Each structure stands twice: as structure tokens, then as C-alpha cells.
Chain A
């Protein structure tokens, strides 16, 4: 039931609606810029997020031995060792024979004996 007083009262919702309609909608360009910002920010997170993939066993090993230069030295040493094992030079053969089988005399050399190059 409405009274005469109610009839004279303004319909507030009509005023609120007018106030809401007075504001334009945000433009599509703004929405696109906001989404582009979101993608750029997310891309920024993705880059450091890839770091753990490089921090695996290989990375830890490289850090422990001193990086790729150290690995190249280790590989070279490994090949030299393999070569010596397969095809030992004559000097090495004589030395190993002398140690293992005692077929050669051992010499003690004292380079300082007789004051040869003391002064």
C-alpha cells in the first residue's frame, strides 16, 4: 500500500541507475592492455622458473669440479690414462717390470753429491 507521501518520494533506484549509466564502459583497448600486462608479468615469472631445470645433477657436478674447463682437463687425462694402459711406452714397461718382477736394478741418485752444483 502506498500513501500520498510515498508517491511524492523519489524513486532512488532511478537516480542510482542514471548515475551508473553516466559512467562509460571501459574500452576494449583498456581490457587488451590490462591482459597484455598480465601476460608480460607472467612471462617475467616464467624465466626464473626455468632455472631449476638447469640446476639438476649436471649443474651440481659442474659446480663441484670447477665448470667446463675442469671437465675438459679430466677428459684429456682420462684418454691419456687409457692410452698408457693399452699401449704403454717402453720406459713405463721397464719401470713396471722392475717394480713388479724386480728384473732391473734400482739406482739411488744423489744429484748433490760431491758439491757438484752447490755454488
Chain B
């Protein structure tokens, strides 16, 4: 089957294909899953090497579980999210207190102009600070939707609530964020 033909194949079906020896399916899953879970791990750990270790470990667990995957009972995205979240928590627990890193790490993209880079860092830091002020569930829902780019049904599964509840949490979270960031704009005196 040509590589492009896998584009519309659901994640769970790709995992079943891999369990039957289809290595192209594994490649498609790698390209599809890794950026998202890497973002998740990097956001929590703020360390590229540690985030890569966590993601590699999580993907290895996915490969190993492929033959035993019970179709229809879980989604690969939510399963991976939980595994990465647990691995990140373990890493954070093992860190010594002085290993703690700032929530907002240095950007690595040298291509962006200095002005854009500074503005993006400022926005990212402001958003991070505002998110911390939200109730935990609103913060999680907004982060999953708008930064990690999960769909609402996926977020519902991750958080163990209904899709309508997720929509409500995101709406309330964004409303609160707008208020918090508007105040910050006035404090700092910059546009957007």
C-alpha cells in the first residue's frame, strides 16, 4: 500500500497493521503521534533531551502493546497522552529541587527575527502566567485544545468528561484568559 494511502487510516487501524508486520504503518504513526506528544512532554519538562527520552519510551510502549491492543476500547492519542503524562510526572518527581527549570524555555528557532522572537516569548510567557491562574480543569482543557491541538472528543476522553463539558470548560477558560491577558496588556502597554 503506498504511503499516502495511509493518511486516512485511523490510528487504531494503523496500530493493528503494525501488529501484523506492516512497518509503513509504524512510520505513519510515528510521524502522526510524535510531534504532539513531544510538545506535551517538552511543555511539562522544559528540557529537550528529557522530553525526547519520555517520548521514545512512550512510543516503545505503544509498539510493544500493539498485538494486545483492544480495538474500540481506547484511542491511541489518549492512551499516549496518559503514558506521556505519567512518565513526565515520574521525571519531575526524580528531579532534585535545584533542577527545576523555568516554565518558559528559551526558543530554539534562530530563523525568527529578534523582534518576533521577543514578542512571541512575551506572549508565551504571558499566556503561561494567565493559564496558571485558571481553575485546573479549565487550564487543562484550554491547553489540550489550543496548544496541544487535541480534538474535543479526545479531550473529553482524556479528562473523563463529556464533550459538552469540555466545550464549556474551554469557553469559560478562554473568557477568563482574555480578561487576564487584557489586564496584562494594559500593565505592559503592548498591543496583542
Contacts and interface: CB of A to CB of B under 8 A. Distances in A.
A18 to B, nearest CB: 4
Interface in B63-122: 63-64, 66-67, 104-105, 107-109, 112, 119-121
Contacts of A14: 123, 192
Given A12-B174, A46-B21, A37 B59 contact: yes
A30 B120 contact: no
B120 A21 contact: yes
A25 B21 CA distance: 28
A41 interface: yes
Contact of B55 (A21, A26, A41): A26
A11 interface: yes
Most chain A beta carbons < 10 A, residue from B19, B30, B31, B52: B30
A42 B109 contact: no
A14 B92 CA distance: 29
Contact of A38 (B30, B43, B105, B177): B30
Contacts of A31: 30-31, 34
B21 A42 contact: yes
B18 A42 contact: yes
Interface residues of B, number: 48
Contacts of B128: 19
Most chain B beta carbons < 10 A, residue from A8, A9, A13, A31: A31
Interface of B: 18-19, 21, 23, 26-27, 30-31, 34-35, 38-39, 42-43, 48, 52, 55-56, 59-60, 63-64, 66-67, 104-105, 107-109, 112, 119-121, 123-124, 126-128, 146-147, 149, 174, 177-178, 181-182, 185, 192
B109 A10 contact: no
A31 B108 CA distance: 18
A33 interface: yes
Contacts of B181: 10, 12, 15
A18 B123 contact: yes
A116 to B, nearest CB: 76
B48 to A, nearest CB: 7
A42 B52 CA distance: 22
Interface of A: 8-16, 18-27, 30-31, 33-35, 37-39, 41-42, 45-46
A45 B22 CA distance: 12
Contacts of A27: 48, 52
A108 to B, nearest CB: 72
A16 B38 CA distance: 17
A23 B43 contact: yes
A20 B39 contact: yes
B107 A30 contact: no
Contacts of A11: 192
19 contacts: A10-B182, A12-B146, A12-B178, A14-B192, A15-B177, A15-B192, A19-B123, A19-B146, A20-B39, A20-B147, A21-B120, A24-B42, A24-B48, A31-B30, A31-B34, A33-B56, A37-B56, A37-B59, A41-B66
